[in-house]
Structure formats: C-alpha cells, structure tokens
Amino acid sequence: MPQLRRSLDSSVVASAQSDVILDCDIVGHEASSSPTVRWFKNGEVVVTSDYFRVEESGQRLRILGLLPSDSGVYQCIVSNEAGVIHSAARLTVLPLGSLVVLSVAAVADDVDNTAMVTT
C-alpha cells in the first residue's frame, strides 16, 4: 500500500496573485510499487497547464498566480497495485490587501490550522 510521509496541510491560506505549492509526499515510490498520483479540485480532475503544474512525479501541485476561483478542496489520490490513499487540503484565496492572522490549535492528536481574516 502506498504511504504518505506527510499529509497535505488541512487548511492553506494564500493571497490572490501569489503562487502556492501542495505536496503529496509519498514514501517508498520505487519502481516495484510504481504509484500513480492524481490531483482533484472539488472532486474534478486537475488538468495540467501553464497555470496548474504537476511536478516531482505527480507529488507536487503548483498553482501560479492564484485567483479567488482557485479556492476549494484539493485532493491527491495515490494508488498502486497494493491500494489507494488520499489526502486533502482546503485552499482559501484572499483578495489582495487582506490581513491574515494564523493560529495553530492542537485538538487531540490532530492539528487544526485556522485563519482569521480582516479586510
């Protein structure tokens, strides 16, 4: 079964016109396991373009020049002959000039990243 070294951050906040990288860090991606990585936004396949770049054998999604319409839930789904795993992140794109205050609160064993936005 494929494994993730680190899951996607559950919440990612970025400003419009900036770039963002989402990493689906796979452990043990040797030829014997040959995992396939697919990226989705709000349940639809992300189509690679000059704007959406898939790098590092599919493990990294780079989005260039963010727009508010890029906000949504992004998933990486990793599969091989042994199974399927996935990780998801909610991307929030803020208008230019927004003030972002991030706080990290530990809840049980999980870390919940939250953002307070003042415009």
Whether the CA torsion 30, 33, 39, 45 is positive or negative: it is positive
Closest CA to 12 of 94, 69, 85, 76: 94
More confident position, 54 or 107: 54
What percent of the chain has pLDDT above 70?
76
Q: Say which residues have a Cβ less than 8 Å from residue 110's Cβ, sequence separation at least 6.
A: none
* Token pair in block for residue 87: 């990780």
Structural domains in the chain plus CATH codes: 3-118 (2.60.40.10)
Number of Cβ within 10 Å of residue 62's Cβ equals: 15
Model confidence, pTM: 0.77
Tens digits of residue pLDDT in 23-80: 988 886 554 567 899 999 999 999 999 999 999 888 999 999 999 999 999 999 999 8
Predicted pLDDT of residue 8: 86
